[in-house]
Each structure stands twice: as C-alpha cells, then as structure tokens.
Chains A and B, each alone.
Chain A
C-alpha cells in the first residue's frame, strides 16, 4: 500500500470560491492509502512547494496527489518539487479541480462533490503508479545527409559549422542537384551557378564534410542517436583519390553518343565523363552502360591517356558501414514524365519542351551555349507558348497527374517569360495559366513585372491541343476572360511539368521506417510545429522530399533541419520519456499486431527461449519496444489481443482504477 499525501490548492479564490477546499481535503484524507491531506492558498508558491517537500520527508510519502490547476500548467513543477525531496517524479498525480471544476461549475456543493471524485480518481491512480526512470542512450556525434542538392548541401554545411562531422551520400557522380541545372533564380534573377557553386566548393573543402558521391543507401538499422547505415559506393571505375579532373579522358573517349542527362538529353556526352565543369568532386566516372571497354573488352583509351593512372576497369561496388546519430533526408524532386500528356505533342515534336529543358536551353553552359534555339532546326523561336500546371492539380481519379500544386511553376514560368523577352524582344511570349500563385517575398511584384514591363501575354485559360504542322506548333487554347478559343502558331511550347519526389525516396522511406504520404512525400512529425522532423525520431527532412518548395524555402528548411540535428548531436545522452509501451513477454504472441500500428517503428521482434513444460525450452517470438524511439501514444496497447502490451504511466489498470473511482 502506498503512503499518499494529498495537497488541495485554493489557487487564491480561483478554486476556493466555488469549491470547499477544506471539505475536499477532509474527504480525501479518508481514502485508503492517504496518510495526510491538507489545503493551502498557493501550492505552486515557494512555501507551498516547501510544505510538500517537508511532508514527503516527514511522513515518508510514496505518492503525492495535488488537487489544483491543470496538469498542463504545473505538473512539471510539482514533479520537480517531489524529485528534489527524493520522491520519484512519476509518483505524482494532479487532480484538475480548477479548469475542470471551479471555473466551470458555479454551485459550490456540486463543485465540491466533483472535486472529491476527481481527487479519488487521482488517488486510485497513484495507488498503482510505479517509479519510472527515463532511459538514457548515448549519441553518436555524426550526421548523415542523404541527397546532395541545395537542401543537402546547406544542411551539411550548417551541421559541419557547428563542429560535427557529416557525410553527404549522393547517388549521382556530383553534388549540386537540380539547382546546378538552373539558369537564373527567381525573384532576384541572380545566376544559379554563381550562388550554388561556391557552396558546393565549401562542402567539398570543409574538413567536417565527407562527400560520398555515386553512392546509395543500402540498409539502415538502429534508432535515434545510434543508426547503423550501410552505404553502397557504386563502382565509378576511376580512383577518386588519383583523378585530378583534368578531362583528357573525356576528350579522347571514342564513345561520344551518350545522352547527356545534365542537359536533359538535349545533347550528348562521352562514356567517361564529369557531369559539368564545376562538379564536386571533380572526378571522372565511367558510365558502364556505354563504355566500350566494359561492354566489349576493346578500347581502354581513357586508361592509356590518364596521366594520373586513375582509371580502374576492375573496380567493384563497395559497402561502407558507418554509425550516425542523426539522418537528414534531402532526396529532392524530379519533373514528372510528360509522355502521358501528349495532347501537348511532347513526344511528337522536339520543340515542345519541359521547363527544365528550357532552363538548359537558356543556360550559358547548356547545349546551345545560352542562345535560345529550337531543338528541331536550331533557329530562333519567335513565338513561345508556356503552359502552366501540366500534371499538377489533377483529380485523384484522373489517371495521370498529381493532386497537389507544384508551387514553383508560376514563378519559374514568369522568370522564363521575362528572360526570353529581355534577351529577345522580338519574341512574343504567351503564358496560359489557371491561377497565378505568387505568395512569397517579392514574388507578385516579379510576376507583375513580367506583365507590365516585359509585355508577356498572360492568358487565363488552358491549351487543349498542340498540332505540329509545317515547322510550326499550332496551339489551340481557351481564353476564358475573353470567352473565345484562340489559335496561336508557335515556334516552341514550354510545359511546366508537375514535380514529384525522386523515385529513390519510397524504398529509402522503407529502410528508414519513415512515413510517407500517398504522393511519396515524406510526412513531417507535425505539419505545423515539427515541420522538419519525421515522425521517426532521429530522421529529419530537408527540401522537396517533404513537399514542393522553392530555393529560399528549401534553404530555410535545410537550416532548420540542421539546427534540429545539432541540438540532438550536442547531447551526450538522450533522456527519453519514460511513459513508453512495455510488453509482457510472458504473454506476447509475437503476432506483429502492435508493430503494424506503431507510427515510429519502435517495435521489433526477438526469438527468445522460454521454459516449456517438462523442462523443455521453447523459442518464442516476442515484441521488444525501443524506449528511445517509442513516443508513448498507446496505439499498440489496444492492437494487442492478449493485453501483453501496456503503457507505463497510463497502464490498463491505472486507467481502469480511475474509471472505477469516477463511476463509484
């Protein structure tokens, strides 16, 4: 039997005016297990807390019930008070007789009666409380960033700045991501390369950052503070240490017809290649799909011309095993495939391009050296039609497209239109829009400039059909404000394709046990209050893997994710919430019901020996909860058919004791 002390607070007149505090203390003093009950003006005041401490010591109290304001207000206060008097803080329960009684019930008799009942429920619960000690786990002070685009780079730089080592795992031969492919950035029109490449160099030279390019995540085990990660370093057939990035091999490579993915396939590269001049690491990679030596055994020219002796055709994939305390996902996005939208003739005419392709056509480092030329005949386009929302904002039952707004298209289309008009004033530019969405600093001003200064024709309506004919693209569209159908003979059509999470995200989420929405964007722990954390502890989100974002937002989120990582890594140990799920292995069936409903992946299974009848040993599969990962929601306790799973601090028996006390 516990020795319980009950402390009834007046809260000045807040409680005492409508609750007879003396009667409450008196009634509760008669409850079983209660050895002391009193009332006082302000329990939370220093003298109130002193009294609690004294009584704990004097009477050897093993449990404390405070009848006062909401536990959301002072539960933490009273727990600390008791802890300082040597009582386990989880032996304290609060009966909320202010918000739930004195403030809502005017009749003193009624209020007093209810306060007594709530006090009884708290006493009944404390009877079953057990001392809980928050577990501690050590933290590996190193972070992993998956994805080396602007999100990953910024996160890594910020974490490295705080003095923690970071690994960036990038699946391509270089970091840089989508931003490296962009020409100018909205709304300031500064050149993407000018602001991105210095960051790439910083990342490459930072002694706290290691870039594992051309690598993928193979497997993830462990939990917050203690992840074990296997990283596949794909064979690039070039020794990274030796390669100087001089580019001689690229000049001499006879296989020159490989579609250049960096330029969206608008031109070709060689089989051994460095994706672009500012690549980091600036190291050549052999594309095994096209290399003559690797496919036919004949050639070997790159090896012969390499002065650094860096080419190694025998290289194999390697698996690297590392430990991390935190993982940041920054896997980014891709434009959707436009094959299904052939009403715009994307696969029927080379002059119908996606916005990212257009970006390359405008870029000084692109396939046309920055002169805008039509892909079909390399002539100047004089009429360009931009189509917005291609594949965005589609109905779920439509078989193609995404339900969400891709968020960045309105702005980059305005940018494209403006840049085109600035460089080539003789070009007519039409933009077909459903809505122009420009919430962002300086965004609407930017769009207005496109209309007002650059005379871009913004037309509210949608293109319904594009017909290539005689070197022109016949565009048929609606102009809803004019209520007419219009026909434009265009030279180019640019489609603002919806963006979608990178295809590597879904398998990665499975490895991380991080949750995703139906669109394969990672879900955040709380949509408003924890936007850069995954519900799985220790996993953080940066950039478009969480949802469509522009560059400023991505960088902001990258910084936020980094600061969350830093505040985790500065800790030597993690102190958990001790109110976590606890399975009774003697009753556990190992049926995996609990695991299925756990949003945190906190439950795993172990085969354990148990004593069977007649001195035999039985091996049984039983659930194991990782207290460092469990957040204590209790979903598993109800899913468990045998009642083996219980929640510390809110156990079945505790809650039922409260029910009994209330219904008596």
Chain B
C-alpha cells in the first residue's frame, strides 16, 4: 500500500483525525503506560501523520497501550490517540500470521482467579 493510502486507511478505521493535533503532548502527559513504551502517544499521532506507519506497527509501544482512554478523554483537539493506535494494532493483526499473542501462549499466563474477561480481552486485543 502506498504511504498516503496507509494514512488514509488508519484515519478511516480510527474515525479520528491526526491532522488536528497541535502537538501539545497532553496525551503523553496523561498516559499511564508511558514508561513501558518505546514510542509514546504523541509520537503515534505524529508518525501516522508522517506516514511512518510500518515503523510504528513494528514497535513495542502499541501493545503496551492500556486502552484506558485517558489520552482520548483529555485530548484538547479531539485527535484521540487511543483510537489511532487501535487502528494501527488492528491493521497489524489483520495481516496473515501477525498475531501478537498466540492462543498457545495463554495458559502459562493464567492463575485461578483471573476473570475470563482478561483472557477474552487479551485475545481480542492482541490476536486475531
């Protein structure tokens, strides 16, 4: 896919608009998972704008996003990074063999009390 088509695709899936970003950094100020990420929320937005989507898709940071919507809630420009990053994850996962988490990996990570929600959501968020 051409870069501009990729930008369009991400924007379409996310329903957000990275071009509205004024680069204030509030998303990164709000993000509770910041330190775990290699790229950070404000960079996600900028990288999508820049067309550096493959680089972003290959990063670790997008999987550390907690989908807690703090960035989305607090973004003054309605860019809503949480939506954009979800779109990048979705596009990645939709590729063949691109599961971030494999079903076989799951049992080892569980304990007795873990609610099934956690398992479902892990599969939903990190695998096809």
On whether the two chains bind one another, the answer is yes
Q: What number of A-B contacts does a CB cutoff of 8 Å give?
A: 77
**Which of A18-26, A189-197, A391-399 has 4 or more CB atoms under 8 Å from chain B?**
A391-399
B88 contacts partner chain A, Cβ-Cβ < 8 Å = no
**Closest residue of chain B to A486, judged by CB?**
B29
Residues of the B chain whose Cβ atoms lie less than 8 Å from the Cβ of A485: 28-29, 31, 34-35, 40
A461 touches B75 (CB 8 A): no
Minimal beta-carbon separation of B16 from chain A (angstroms)? 11
Minimal beta-carbon separation of A580 from chain B (angstroms)? 45
A398 touches B76 (CB 8 A): yes
Minimal beta-carbon separation of B18 from chain A (angstroms)? 12
A480 touches B78 (CB 8 A): no
CA–CA, A329 to B76, complex, Å? 31
**Which of B19-27, B89-97, B108-116 has 4 or more CB atoms under 8 Å from chain A?**
B19-27
A→B interface (CB under 8 Å): 343, 389, 393-395, 397-398, 401, 432, 434, 460-465, 476-480, 483, 485
10 further A-B contacts with Cβ under 8 Å, apart from A395-B77, A477-B29, A485-B40, are A389-B76, A394-B77, A395-B75, A462-B26, A464-B70, A477-B25, A478-B26, A478-B29, A480-B28, A485-B34
Residues of the A chain whose Cβ atoms lie less than 8 Å from the Cβ of B40: 478, 483, 485
A398 touches B75 (CB 8 A): yes
B27 touches A464 (CB 8 A): yes
The 4 nearest A-B residue pairs measured at CB = A464-B29, A464-B30, A478-B28, A462-B26
B83 contacts partner chain A, Cβ-Cβ < 8 Å = no
Residues of the A chain whose Cβ atoms lie less than 8 Å from the Cβ of B34: 478, 485
Minimal beta-carbon separation of A476 from chain B (angstroms)? 6
B→A interface (CB under 8 Å): 20, 22-31, 34-35, 40, 42-43, 70-71, 73-79
A434 touches B22 (CB 8 A): yes
Subset of 29 A-B contacts with CB under 8 Å: A343-B73, A393-B24, A393-B77, A395-B77, A395-B78, A397-B78, A398-B75, A401-B76, A432-B29, A434-B25, A461-B28, A462-B25, A462-B26, A462-B28, A462-B29, A463-B26, A464-B29, A464-B31, A464-B71, A465-B70, A477-B25, A477-B29, A478-B28, A478-B34, A479-B25, A483-B43, A485-B31, A485-B34, A485-B35
B76 touches A460 (CB 8 A): no
Instruction: Identify which of A389, A397, A483 contacts B24 (C-beta below 8 A).
Output: A389
CA–CA, A483 to B37, complex, Å? 11
On whether A476 and B23 interact (CB within 8 A), knowing A394-B76, A398-B75, A398-B76, the answer reads no
Residues of the A chain whose Cβ atoms lie less than 8 Å from the Cβ of B23: 434, 480
Residues of the B chain whose Cβ atoms lie less than 8 Å from the Cβ of A480: 23, 25, 28, 42
Residues of the B chain whose Cβ atoms lie less than 8 Å from the Cβ of A395: 20, 75-79
Residues of the B chain whose Cβ atoms lie less than 8 Å from the Cβ of A464: 26-31, 70-71, 74
**Closest residue of chain B to A390, judged by CB?**
B76
CA–CA, A40 to B67, complex, Å? 82
Instruction: Identify which of B24, B43, B70, B79 contacts A462 (C-beta below 8 A).
Output: B24
